[in-house]
Amino acid sequence: MNVRQLELSRRTIAVAAALIGTVSLVIGAHAALNMRAIDAAKAVPTDQVTGSIGQSSRLALVIGNGHYPDASAPLTQSINDARALSSSLRKNGFDVDMVEDATKDDMVRAVNRLKSRIKRDTVVMLFFGGYGVQAGRESYMLPVDAVIWRESDVRRQGVSIDGVLDMMKEQGAKAKLVVVDASRRNPYERRFRSYSHGLAPISAPDNALILSSASPGKVVDDGKGEHSVLVSEFLTNLNAQGSAESVFNKTRVAISRASEGDQVPTISSSLLEDVHFGEAAGG
C-alpha cells in the first residue's frame, strides 16, 4: 500500500468515525428528550389528567329580577337570592351565568348562551326569581321591561319556562334542574279578564327535576328576610349536600311544615340520573 492509499484510508476512517459520533449524539439527545417528556407527564397532578374523564360538565343560568317599573316596590329578595344561589352553585362545580334585572333581550341572550354550551354530558340548572305569569297553560318568566296589558302580551314579552326546558332537551342535556320562585301576586293581575293566579303546572320532560315555590294557581307573599322562603330553605339543604332529589324534597317538606300547609312547593320529577351536590358531585 503506497502513501496515497494510506492517506485515503485514514480519511475514510476519520469520516466514518465522525458520522458514528453524530449518530450517537442524535440518539442520545432523542433519548434524553423522551425521558424529559416522561418525567414531565409524571409531574402533572392526577386531577389535571383525569379531571375531565368520566365527569359531566355543569352549567347554571341564574336570573334574579327585582326592579319592575309597574311594581309598587322592588323585589329585593330576588336579587339577594340570585347572588347567594350563584355562589353556592359555583362551590358545587357549576359554571354560573348570573343575570340581574334582565330585560327581554337580556333573557333571550342568556338562554342562547346556555344553549350554545350544552353538551350530551351536561347537567343544566335554571333558577328564576321574580314575577311569573301563566298564559295558555304555560308559565312565563317576566323580564323587568315587560309591558303587560293582556294575555297576548305575556306570551310575547315573557320567556316560557317550558320553552327553555324543551331547548335543554333538544340539546341533549344529561339532566335538567329547575327552581322557579315566581308565584307572587304581581302588578298585572287585574289588567285582563283571563288572568289566572300563580303559575301553571310545569311538566318535567325526560330526565328533569322541577321545584316551584307554590302549588299551581297559588300565590305566596314574600317574607321580611334577606331571602325568600323557598331559596332560604333550598340554600340550607344545598349546603348540607346530597342528591338533587333529596335537596328538592327536603326543601318542599320544610316549607310546607313551617307554613302549616299555607305554602306547599310543587315538585315535578322525571329524573333518571343520580345528580349530587357537594363532595359527591360528579354526576
- Cell triple for 8: 485515503
User: With bands split at pLDDT 50, 70 and 90, how would you rate the model's confidence at 195?
Assistant: low
User: With bands split at pLDDT 50, 70 and 90, how would you rate the model's confidence at 32?
Assistant: very low
> Is residue 68 predicted with pLDDT exceeding 50?
yes
What is the DSSP secondary structure assignment for residue 142, as one 8-state letter? Answer: P
The residue ranking higher by pLDDT, 22 or 104, is: 104
The residue ranking higher by pLDDT, 34 or 105, is: 105
CB 181 within 8 A of CB 81: yes
Per-residue pLDDT tens over the stretch 35-59: 433 333 333 333 333 233 334 599 9
Query: How far apart are alpha carbons 56 and 262 in whole angstroms?
Result: 38
Predicted confidence at residue 6, as pLDDT, reads: 41
Radius of gyration of the chain (CA): 30
What is the DSSP secondary structure assignment for residue 189, as one 8-state letter? Answer: T
> Is residue 22 predicted with pLDDT exceeding 90?
no
Nearest to 211 by CA among 262, 170, 254: 254
Specify which residues 177 forms β-bridges with. 125, 209
Predicted confidence at residue 96, as pLDDT, reads: 97
H helix or E strand, kind and range, residue 176: strand 175-181
User: With bands split at pLDDT 50, 70 and 90, how would you rate the model's confidence at 146?
Assistant: very high
For residue 131, how many other CB atoms are within 10 A of its CB? 27
Predicted confidence at residue 115, as pLDDT, reads: 97
Query: How far apart are alpha carbons 161 and 203 in whole angstroms?
Result: 10
Lowest model confidence (mean pLDDT) among 48-52, 130-134, 206-210, 246-250: 48-52
Helix (H, G, I), strand (E, B) or coil at 137: coil
Read off the pLDDT of each residue in 19-40 and give the average, rounded to a whole number. 43
> Is residue 224 predicted with pLDDT exceeding 60?
yes
Per-residue pLDDT tens over the stretch 168-181: 999 999 999 999 99
The residue ranking higher by pLDDT, 35 or 125, is: 125
Predicted confidence at residue 163, as pLDDT, reads: 96
Nearest to 78 by CA among 60, 61, 55, 62: 62
Task: Please enumerate in sequence order all residues whose Cβ is within 8 A of that of 61, keeping only pairs 6 or more positions apart, or say none.
Answer: 96, 97, 99, 110, 111, 113, 114, 124, 125, 126, 127
> Is residue 228 predicted with pLDDT exceeding 80?
yes
Query: How far apart are alpha carbons 112 and 102 in whole angstroms?
Result: 14
208 φ, ψ to 5°?
Answer: -135, 155
- Strand pairing report for 276-277 and 266-269: unpaired
> Is residue 144 predicted with pLDDT exceeding 90?
yes
CB 277 within 8 A of CB 251: no
First to last CA, the chain: 83
Specify which residues 60 forms β-bridges with. 96, 125
HSE on the CB side for 81, CA within 13 Å? Answer: 29
Read off the pLDDT of each residue in 254-278 and give the average, rounded to a whole number. 90
Predicted confidence at residue 261, as pLDDT, reads: 87
User: With bands split at pLDDT 50, 70 and 90, how would you rate the model's confidence at 33?
Assistant: very low
Nearest to 82 by CA among 106, 93, 98, 96: 98
